[in-house]
C-alpha cells in the first residue's frame, strides 16, 4: 500500500486528534531515524500506524484476538492501554499489509517497551512522547536529550515518565516496563 493510501485509510480507524498525533509521531520518528542512521522509511510507517488499535473497545479485544490469533497476558487482556499496541501490530500486518518484522515489533512495544530494544523500537517509543503536539512537564528536556542523539538516555527518561504517570493514575505497571527501565538504567550508568 502506498504511504498516502495508508494515511487516508488511517482516518477510518482514528478520530482527527489521534490521526494528527500519528502523523506527528511519524515526523518525529523520521527525524530520530536520520539522526541515528536508521531506516527513516520504516520509522515513518511505524509512526503512522503505531496507534491504529487505540480506539478498539475492551469488549472487542477478544474478537481481534480470535481473528488474528493474538495471545495476550492477563494484564493485557484487562487494559486497552496495554493491548492496543499489540493489536495494532496485527492490524498493521493484516489490514495495512505491513510484513516488515521491525516495523511490526516497533508498533507492538510502543506502550510497555521492553529491555534491549532495537533502534527502531527505541525510536518509536521515544517519538510517541516527544512529538510536537505533546505538552507536559519535562517534555522539552526529553526532546533535547533525544535530539542530541543519546537515545538510550531518552528511552530511560521516557520510561521513568511513563512509570510515574501510571503510578499517579493508580494503574498497574506491566513487568516489561519495569524490566525495560532497569535495563536502560544500567545501560546509561555503564556508559
Ligand atoms: Fe499508543
Ligand atoms: Fe501514540
Calculate the dihedral angle through the C-alpha atoms of 82, 83, 87, 89, rounding to the nearest 10 degrees: 30
Taking 3-state DSSP, the helix, strand and coil percentages for the chain, each rounded to the nearest 5, stand at 70, 0, 30
18-71 per-position pLDDT tens digit: 999 999 999 999 999 999 999 999 999 999 999 999 999 999 999 999 999 999
Q: What mean pLDDT comes out for the span 12-20?
A: 98
User: CA-CA distance, 72 to 83, in Å (whole number)?
Assistant: 7
Distance 105 CA to ligand 1 centre (A): 13
Cα–Cα distances in angstroms (integers) from residue 53 to residues 49, 64, 69, 130, 157, in the given order: 9, 10, 16, 20, 25
When the pLDDT of each residue in the chain is averaged and rounded to a whole number, the result is 97
**Tens digit of each residue's pLDDT (9 = 90 or more) over 147-185:** 999 999 999 999 999 999 999 999 999 999 999 999 999
Query: What residues pack around ion ligand 2 (CB closer than 5 A)?
Result: 51, 128
| pLDDT for res 137 | 93
The ligand whose atoms approach the alpha carbon of 111 most closely is 1
CB 158 within 8 A of CB 138: no
Q: What integer pLDDT is reported at residue 144 of this predicted model? A: 98
HSE toward the beta carbon, residue 107, CA cutoff 13 A: 32
Q: Is residue 65 a contact partner of residue 71, using CB atoms and an 8 Å limit? A: yes
C-alpha of residue 41 to centroid of ligand 2, in Å:
18
Nearest to 40 by CA among 112, 134, 103: 103
Residue 12 is classified by DSSP as G
What span, in angstroms and rounded, lies between the C-alpha atoms of 79 and 98? 25
Q: How far is the CA of 187 from the centre of ligand 1 (A)?
A: 25
Looking at the chain, the whole-number percentage of residues with pLDDT higher than 70 is 100
Asked if the model's pLDDT at residue 104 lies above 90, the reply is yes
Exposed e or buried b per residue across 42-55, where buried means at least 16 C-beta atoms within 10 angstroms of its C-beta: bbbbbbbbbbbbbe
CA of 68 to the centre of ligand 1 (A): 19
Q: How far is the CA of 128 from the centre of ligand 2 (A)?
A: 5
Residues 6+ apart with CB under 8 A from 4: none
- Asked if the model's pLDDT at residue 191 lies above 90, the reply is no
42 neighbors 103 (Cβ within 8 angstroms): yes
Q: What distance in Å separates the CA atoms of residue 82 and residue 70, rounded to the nearest whole number?
A: 14
Quote the ligand 2 centre to 74 CA distance (angstroms).
Answer: 22
Amino acid at each position: 500500500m502506498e504511504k498516502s493510501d495508508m494515511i487516508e485509510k488511517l482516518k477510518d480507524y482514528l478520530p482527527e486528534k489521534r490521526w494528527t498525533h500519528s502523523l506527528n509521531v511519524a515526523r518525529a520518528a523520521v527525524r530520530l531515524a536520520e539522526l541515528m542512521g536508521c531506516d527513516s522509511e520504516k520509522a515513518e510507517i511505524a509512526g503512522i500506524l503505531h496507534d491504529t488499535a487505540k480506539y478498539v473497545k475492551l469488549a472487542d479485544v477478544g474478537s481481534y484476538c480470535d481473528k488474528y490469533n493474538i495471545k495476550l497476558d492477563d494484564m493485557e487482556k484487562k487494559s486497552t492501554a496495554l493491548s492496543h499496541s499489540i493489536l495494532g501490530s496485527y492490524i498493521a500486518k493484516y489490514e495495512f499489509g505491513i510484513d516488515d518484522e521491525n516495523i511490526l515489533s516497533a508498533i507492538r512495544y510502543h506502550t510497555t517497551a521492553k529491555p534491549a530494544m532495537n533502534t527502531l523500537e527505541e525510536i518509536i517509543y521515544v517519538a510517541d512522547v516527544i512529538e510536537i503536539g505533546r505538552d507536559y512537564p519535562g517534555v522539552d528536556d526529553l526532546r533535547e536529550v533525544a535530539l542530541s542523539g543519546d537515545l538510550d538516555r531518552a528511552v530511560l527518561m521516557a520510561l521513568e515518565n511513563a512509570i510515574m504517570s501510571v503510578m499517579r493514575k493508580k494503574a498497574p505497571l506491566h513487568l516489561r516496563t519495569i524490566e525495560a527501565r532497569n535495563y536502560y538504567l544500567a545501560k546509561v550508568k555503564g556508559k
